[in-house]
Amino acid sequence: MKKLLLTTAVIFALTAPAFSSGSHSGNHDEVTAIEMLIGKPGNAADVTRVIDVTMRETDDGDMLFEPTSIEISEGETIRFNVINKGELEHEFVIDTFEGNAKHKKMMAKLDMEHDDPNSIRLDEGRSGEVIWTFSNVGTFEFACLIPGHYESGMHGPILVNIKTAQADVEYSTGKIKKINSKAGKVTIIHGPLANLDMPAMTMVFRADEAMITNMSEGQDIEFIADRVKGKLTVTKMK
């Protein structure tokens, strides 16, 4: 009988699913090694884009995120800069709709604070970040699962689109003349920008925080610039 029970236990252990949704698990650190349906924890060095997320309440008693929805391309590593501009504690959790629904139900019974790489909980006036690689296509969700907050409007969709093949864009050469990290701007003495039909000159470009940290004044670079929201922006650099 003992031999039979031992054999059954071994079989169960070998066939148990190795997937974890990542929130409120027995060991929160396990999520860093296991890819979730929504993707996996990202590395700061791999960040391709920064998205600012604000959490707050309204005078009417609603609670909300800004932006209200997020669109991402498959394979992107996003740094979410999250700030709580409200007067209450809030959290930012990214997961599947099913995962958030499950953990919202758990928190309705006992308000538990998340300690996972796919979430951050902030007191009023505080800020923090979540870095995440979206390796799977689909529609997911960001939400605040503190009891009552989701029902007051604190949730929105994350649409992860299939990464489309893009035509090769020729890199331009340049030298960094000046960096204004606070303003997110960099002045570059550059050669012709073929994709923008611009001649060689010295111009000021926008660049995200992750890219600016890899720049230094006097540095020779190869880069691609494009118009992003009407502003000339360095989108790639090597």
Q: Which of 13-17, 164-168, 206-210 is predicted with the least confidence, judged by mean pLDDT?
A: 13-17
Cross-strand partners of 55: 65, 84
Q: Dump pLDDT digits (tens) for 73-84.
A: 999 999 999 999
pTM of the model: 0.59
Confidence grade of residue 20 (pLDDT, cut at 50, 70, 90): very low
Q: Dump pLDDT digits (tens) for 100-116.
A: 999 899 888 876 666 78
Q: Dump pLDDT digits (tens) for 159-172.
A: 999 876 555 678 99
Q: Does domain 172-237 have CATH number 2.40.50.320?
A: yes
Amino acid sitting at position 56: R
Instruction: Using DSSP bridges, classify how beta strands 231-237 and 185-190 pair: parallel, antiparallel or unpaired.
Output: unpaired
User: DSSP 3-state assignment of 27?
Assistant: coil
User: What single string gives the DSSP state of each residue in 49-88?
Assistant: EEEEEEEEE-TTS-EEEESS-EEEETT-EEEEEEEE-SSS
What pLDDT was estimated at residue 75? 92
List the CATH code of the domain at 21-161.
2.60.40.420
Listed residue (148, 42, 33) closest to 89, CA to CA = 148
What pLDDT was estimated at residue 135? 92
Indicate the domain borders of the chain. 21-161, 172-237
Q: Dump pLDDT digits (tens) for 41-58.
A: 999 989 989 999 999 999
**What does the pLDDT average to over 26-53?**
75
What pLDDT was estimated at residue 36? 83
Q: How far is CA 1 from CA 5, 14, 155, 203, in A?
A: 6, 20, 52, 80
Pick the more confident residue, 31 or 213. 213
Tell whether the model's pLDDT for residue 64 goes beyond 70. Answer: yes
Would you give the DSSP letter of residue 97? H
